[in-house]
A and B are shown apart, each in its own frame.
Chain A
Amino acid sequence: MAKRTGTDGSLLASLPWTLAALGFSIAPHVQYLPLWITSAFLICAVWRLEIERRRRALPRPWIRVVLALVCFLGVLVSYNNEISGVGPGSALLAIMAALKLLETKRRRDQFVHLFISIFLVMASLLREQFVWSLPYLLLAVVLTMTAWLRMSLANDGGETSVRQSFRTASRLLLYAAPLMLAMWILFPRISTPFWAIPVDASSATSGLSDNMSPGDISSLSLSNAVAFRVKFESSVPEPRDRYWRGLVLHSFNGRSWSGSDPSRDPDARDRVFEEGDPVRYQVTMEPTRQQWVFALDIPLEWSRSEIVMGPQQQLANEQPVDQRMTYNATSYTRYRIDPQLTSFYRTRYTDLPTRSNPRTAELAQQMRLAAGSDEAFVNDVLAKFHNEEFYYTLEPPALGRDPVDRFLFGTQQGFCEHYASAFAVMMRAVGIPSRIVLGYQGGELNPLGGHLTVRQSDAHAWTEVWMPNHGWRRVDPTAAVAPERIESGMTGAMMSGMGALWGLSTPLAWLHSMGLTWDALNAKWNDWILGYGPDQQESFLEWLGMEEPDWRKMMLTMTFLVAAIVGIISLFLMARYRPPPQDRAAILYKKFTQKSGLPPNRGEPPLAYSIRLSEDREELAADADSVTEQYLLARYAPPNPGAIASLKVAVNQFNN
C-alpha cells in the first residue's frame, strides 16, 4: 500500500466555512432526522477539521467504504426501505456530505459539499414554508456562497479576508435579488404537477382521523396549529353557525364510528335544499395528507373541480391534500337534506350492533315512551345532558367495554366526541336515523387580517338526526353541556376559565394579541407568497397592466426584463471597475507646459520647471510663477473647490 501522506493544511481557509454552510443547511432537518445521522455528521465534521489542523492523513479507503455501506444500510433501516421523499432524501444528503468530508483532499472537492448544501436548503423548503423560511434561505445562500468564494481563493488564501469574501457574496446576492424577483413574478406557474409528489410516510398526519372511538384515548391533545383560514366575501356568520363540515361517520361497531366515504356521489348535491342567504368565502387550507375538505355547513358550490361531494354531503379532494390549497365556496347555513329517506338508508342510519351498550338502549326506549314524539325525545336527551351532572372536559377517564354505557351511567365526563356518540346511539336505539359529523366549530376572527382562523383545537364532532319531511337536522349535544364552547369558540371558552381544566394558565391578553398579529402575518404570507399560483399570477399581472396574460407573454416579458436588469448590473459593474479619471489639476498643468513651449524633463518638480522656464523665457516668468503656485495649491493643499477653478483661469490666461 502506498504511504499515506498527511493533509497539507491548505483547506483550513475554506473548510470551516464549508462546514458552517453545511451545518446551517442541515439545521432545519435535525428535528426530522434520526439522531444518529446528525451525530454522524457532527463527528465527521469535527474529525475532518482535526485531520486538517494536525496535518494527519485521511482515513484509509476501506474504512470509508465500510462506513459508507453501514450508513446507507442505516438510512434504509431508519426509513423502512423507503428512499424517496423529503425525509429519506435529506437523510441521504446529510450522510453523503458527512462521508464525503472524509475523502476531501483538494480544495476543489468541496464543490460537492456546497451543492449538497444547496439541495438540503431546497429540501427544507419542500418540507415547511414559514415566514422565517425566507430570511433563512437568504442567509443560507449567503453562507454557502461565502464558503464557495473561500474555496476558490487565490493560492493559500492569505490575500483575501473572510470579511471580504462575505461582502462579495452579499454584494452579488444583492445584484441577483432583482433578477430573482422578476423571474419569480413572471415565471409561469402551472397547476398540475408533472409527477406524483412522494408522500412522506415518516411525518405524522395532522387533522381529523377517519374514525372516532370516544373513550379509547383518555385525553385529546389539541394543537394550536392552523387547520384553515377563511376570508368571507359576504358577512361573517354568527359563531353558532360556524360549523365546518368535514367527514360523516355512519357505521358504529359498539366502540367506534367509521365509514365516511370520500368518493363522488353525483346526486348528493341535488338532495340539498337551501334556504336563506348564501355565504361566500375563500378557504386556504393547510395540508393534511387526507382527502377531506372543509366547508361551512352546508356547501353548495365550490371552485375546484378536484373537489367532490360524497354521499353524506361531505367534501373531499380527489387526491390527499399534500399542499396548501385555496378554494372558494358558497354555503347556506339554513338548509334541508334528504327530505325523503329510502328504507335502505333508514336501516343503515339506525344500525346498532346487538348486545352492545344495553343500558343506553334501555334508557333511550324509556325516554322515548315518556316523550311521546321524536322531537320531544331529542329535546329531552339534550335536557338530560344539560341538567344532570355531565361535565365537559378534555381529559376524561378511559371507558373500556360498552363505552357509551360507562359514559352515561358512570363517568359522565367527556368532550364533544363522547356526547355526540352517546346522543347518536340513543337516537338509533329508538329507530331515529342518526350520524356523526366530524369537522371544526368556531374559529377566531383576526381583526388585523379580517379573516377567520380555524385551528386544530377547534376540531369538533356533532350529530345529525333525520326527521321525516325535515330531513337531516344538525344537533350538537355538546352545546347542551358547554354552550360557551359553541358560542365563543374554543379560545373563548379557554379564556373564560375553561383553560384551567385543560391544565393551562389563562393566556395573557397581550400574548394573545401578539398571536393574532403573527396569525395575520401568516395569512398574508400564505396569500401573497406561498399561494402565488396560476390564478393569483394572472390577476396580479393583469393588475400590473399586462393584458390577458398567458405563458408566452410571461416568458417573453421575463426574458426582456431579465436582460434589461442584467444590462443595468453590467453597466454598474463597468463603472465600478473603471480606473478613476486623471487628476484635473494634472490635466491643467500639462496644458500649461504645452502652452509654454518648453517640454518639462522627466520627473522634473514644478518649481524647478518654473525656474527653468523663467530663465528661458523671461517675459513669461511672472505668469509661470503664478500658474505654478496655483497648481501647487490645487494639487497639494487641503481640498478646495475654488483652487481648480483659479488654476484653470491662470492656465487659460497664460501666454495668450
Chain B
Amino acid sequence: MSSIPWQFPRFPKLPSLHKAVGDRVQRWARKRQGGDSHVTRLHSKRIYILPTGVGFVFALMTFAMLLGSMNYNNNLSFVLTFLLVGLGLVSMHQCQRNLVGLELSFAGADPVFAGQAAQFRIAITNRSKNSRYHIQLYADAVSSEVRDLAPGDSKVFRLAIPTDRRGYIALERFGIRTLFPFELFRSWAWLHMDLKGLVYPSPAEHAPEPPATQTAQGHRQHDARGEEDFAGLRKFNEGDSPRHVAWKAYARTGELFSKQFAGADTSSQWFDFEHVDEDELEKRLSVITRWIIDADRTQRDYGVRIPGSEYPPAHGESHRHLCLESLALFNGGDRHG
C-alpha cells in the first residue's frame, strides 16, 4: 500500500479529441432540443446518462463476483452478485428520474465589473412529492454547489461565470446534473436559455482625480453635499462627518444614521469621456468607472457624458446603474461575448 491516495480511474482525457467530441455532441443537442424559455421543465427525453468511473469499477467488481460465484457454484454469492447488478440497473433509472420534471427558472444575474464572476441565479423547483438529491448546475468549468430538493422545495443555485470584458456576458448553455443515488451514473441535461448578464467595465485601479469640469453655472463644485435643508436619514457610512450623526435616532434605535441635507447647492460633477487623460477607449471607460464608484460611495452627484449619450448629474442606485450600463455597452460593448 503506497502512501499516495488511491484514486478511481477516470476517463483518459485526450484534450483535443475530448473537446471535439464534446462540442459536436453539444451542437447536436442544441439542434435537437431548440432554445429554452426562461422557465423550463425538464422532460425525460432531454436527459442524458452515462456511467461514471466509479460505475465502471462497480461493473468490473460485479463481473468478478459473477465469475467467482460461477466457479464456486455458490448460490448465496449469486444472490449477492445479482442483487448488486439489480441495484446498478435500478440506480441507472433512479439517476435519470432524479432530474425529470424539475423546473428551472432564470432568477436574474446581477451586473458585475469585468474580472469579477457574473452570478447567474437559477431557481430549481421540485414540484413532485418526492425528494431530489445531489442536484448541481454547471457550465463548462464552473459548477454550482450540490444541493438536495425536498418535495415542493425551490432553491436558487448560482453559477459564477468568470468575465474578462465589459458588455453582455452570454450564458448560452448550462447544464444540470446529478450523481444520485450511488454515483455509478451521471445524468445531465443541457439548457439553452440564452441568458445574459451585464458586465460593467473594470474600474481602473489608479485613476487620476476627476478633472475639475465646470458646471453649467460655471463655478467649481463642492465635494461635499450641502448642509442647508435637512432631507432625511440614511445609514451611517464610514467617512461621514461625525457632526452629521443623528444622535437622537441612535438613542432610539441603537443604530447610527447620518443626517442628509438637500443641497440648495447645485454643484455637481461631470465625468466627460472626452476629458479623460487616457488614449485608449477601454482605459478611459475604466477611469470613468472608477470615478463613478468613488462618487457613489461618497454620495456625490455626478453626471456622465459619453459620445452619443449624456446622463445629467444625480445619485442613487439606478443612476449609478444607468451610467455604468452606458459605459458597459458603449461603442459595441454588447458585441463582446
Chain B associates with chain A:
yes
Hey, which bits of chain A sit against chain B, CB under 8 A? 61-62, 64-65, 68, 96, 99-100, 103-106, 108-109, 111-112, 115, 118-119, 121-122, 125-126, 129, 133-134, 137-138, 141, 145, 148-149, 152-155, 159-160, 164, 168, 172-173, 175-180, 183-184, 187, 189-191, 193-195, 197, 323, 529-533, 562, 566, 569-570, 573-574, 576-580
Stretch at the interface among B70-78, B217-225, B286-294: B70-78
Hey, which bits of chain B sit against chain A, CB under 8 A? 1-3, 5-6, 8, 44, 54, 57, 61, 65, 67-68, 70-87, 89-91, 93-94, 97-98, 100-101, 127-135, 145-148, 179-183
Other-chain residue from A148, A190, A532, A579 in contact with B127 (beta carbon distance below 8 A): A579
Given the interface contacts A172-B181, A574-B100, does A530 sit within 8 Å of B76 by beta carbon?
A: yes
21 residue pairs bridging A and B, Cβ less than 8 Å apart? A96-B1, A100-B6, A109-B5, A111-B54, A122-B80, A129-B75, A137-B80, A138-B83, A141-B83, A149-B181, A152-B134, A154-B133, A154-B145, A172-B87, A189-B70, A190-B73, A194-B71, A195-B71, A566-B89, A577-B97, A577-B101
Interface pairs A-B: 3 shortest CB-CB: A176-B86, A179-B86, A61-B3
Chain B residues, Cβ within 8 Å of A191 = 73
Other-chain residue from B3, B8, B44, B72 in contact with A126 (beta carbon distance below 8 A): B72
Alpha-carbon gap, A103 to B179, bound state (A) = 25
* Minimum Cβ distance to chain A for residue B32 (Å): 21
* Minimum Cβ distance to chain B for residue A121 (Å): 6
4 additional contacts (CB under 8 A) given A111-B54, A193-B73, A194-B70: A100-B1, A122-B80, A125-B77, A579-B127
Chain B residues, Cβ within 8 Å of A579 = 101, 127-128
Contact yes or no, B82 A183, CB < 8 A: yes
* Minimum Cβ distance to chain B for residue A89 (Å): 11
- Cβ-closest chain A residue relative to B67: A194
Alpha-carbon gap, A276 to B131, bound state (A) = 73
Chain A residues, Cβ within 8 Å of B54 = 111
Given the interface contacts A121-B80, A180-B83, A187-B82, does A566 sit within 8 Å of B93 by beta carbon?
A: yes
Contact yes or no, B1 A134, CB < 8 A: no
- Cβ-closest chain B residue relative to A67: B1
Chain A residues, Cβ within 8 Å of B86 = 175-180, 183
Given the interface contacts A141-B83, A145-B182, A197-B71, does A65 sit within 8 Å of B76 by beta carbon?
A: no
Alpha-carbon gap, A141 to B84, bound state (A) = 8
Chain A residues, Cβ within 8 Å of B5 = 103-106, 109
Other-chain residue from B67, B76, B97, B181 in contact with A125 (beta carbon distance below 8 A): B76
Chain A residues, Cβ within 8 Å of B57 = 111, 115
Chain B residues, Cβ within 8 Å of A190 = 70, 73
- Cβ-closest chain A residue relative to B8: A111
Given the interface contacts A111-B54, A126-B72, A197-B72, does A179 sit within 8 Å of B148 by beta carbon?
A: no
Given the interface contacts A122-B65, A579-B101, does A569 sit within 8 Å of B90 by beta carbon?
A: yes
Other-chain residue from B1, B97, B147 in contact with A159 (beta carbon distance below 8 A): B147
Given the interface contacts A118-B84, A577-B130, does A99 sit within 8 Å of B1 by beta carbon?
A: yes
- Cβ-closest chain A residue relative to B93: A570
Other-chain residue from B61, B82, B94, B148 in contact with A180 (beta carbon distance below 8 A): B82
Alpha-carbon gap, A164 to B133, bound state (A) = 11
Chain B residues, Cβ within 8 Å of A119 = 61
Other-chain residue from A64, A155, A175 in contact with B146 (beta carbon distance below 8 A): A155
Alpha-carbon gap, A509 to B142, bound state (A) = 73
Chain A residues, Cβ within 8 Å of B131 = 160, 164
Alpha-carbon gap, A532 to B67, bound state (A) = 17
Chain A residues, Cβ within 8 Å of B93 = 566, 569-570, 573
Contact yes or no, A580 B87, CB < 8 A: no
Alpha-carbon gap, A177 to B85, bound state (A) = 10
Chain A residues, Cβ within 8 Å of B127 = 579-580
- Cβ-closest chain B residue relative to A178: B86
Alpha-carbon gap, A548 to B59, bound state (A) = 32
Chain B residues, Cβ within 8 Å of A104 = 5
Most buried by B among A133, A533, A573: A573
Alpha-carbon gap, A193 to B182, bound state (A) = 33
Alpha-carbon gap, A149 to B181, bound state (A) = 7
Alpha-carbon gap, A184 to B75, bound state (A) = 8
